[in-house]
Amino acid sequence: MLKKALSKGILVVGYDGTPPGARQWFVNQAQFNGIAKSLMDSMAKEIGETGSFAIVTSTFTTPNQARWIAEMSAYAAKCHPKMKWLETVEPRRTTSFPSPRPTRSSTSTAEISRDSSE
């Protein structure tokens, strides 16, 4: 739809995941590495430096979320190397309410809880 608008001369401004090629300008709400640092530092404070965690993302193909996850991985390796990243999953697409479930998960809730050794 956005590419069609561009081809007709309509100006397109994107934000929050609009793919390149479907926009003329992109408004980024924050720096990718800043979001990664904030998320990882907050998690480390909450679960401890040796805690385990998993990420549930809306999709693996959303550009901004994919970049946040990549930046989180790099920052975690450098600044929180003892934290255990269990996996990253997408939620299942269902019509049930209240919350979707991950498409795959090999971890139990107990494994993602606060590390008691801190």
Which domain does 23 fall in, by range? 1-30
- Give the pLDDT confidence of 20-65 residue by residue, as tens digits: 677 766 677 788 899 999 999 999 999 999 999 999 988 888 777 8
Q: Name the domain count of the chain.
A: 2
Identify whether residues 49 and 77 lie together within a single domain: yes
Identify whether residues 39 and 9 lie together within a single domain: no
Q: Is this model's pTM higher than 0.75 or not?
A: no
Residue 118: inside a domain:
no
Identify whether residues 52 and 63 lie together within a single domain: yes
Identify whether residues 17 and 39 lie together within a single domain: no
Identify whether residues 77 and 44 lie together within a single domain: yes
What is the sign of the dihedral through the CA atoms of 65, 69, 75 and 79?
A: positive
Instruction: Tell me the C-alpha distance between 52 and 108, whole Å.
Output: 11
Which residues make beta-bridge pairs with 52?
84
89's CB contacts (< 8 A; 6+ apart) are 54, 55, 56, 57, 102, 103, 104, 105
Asked whether the beta carbons of 14 and 22 are under 8 A apart, the reply is yes
Task: Check residue 39 and give its pLDDT.
Answer: 94
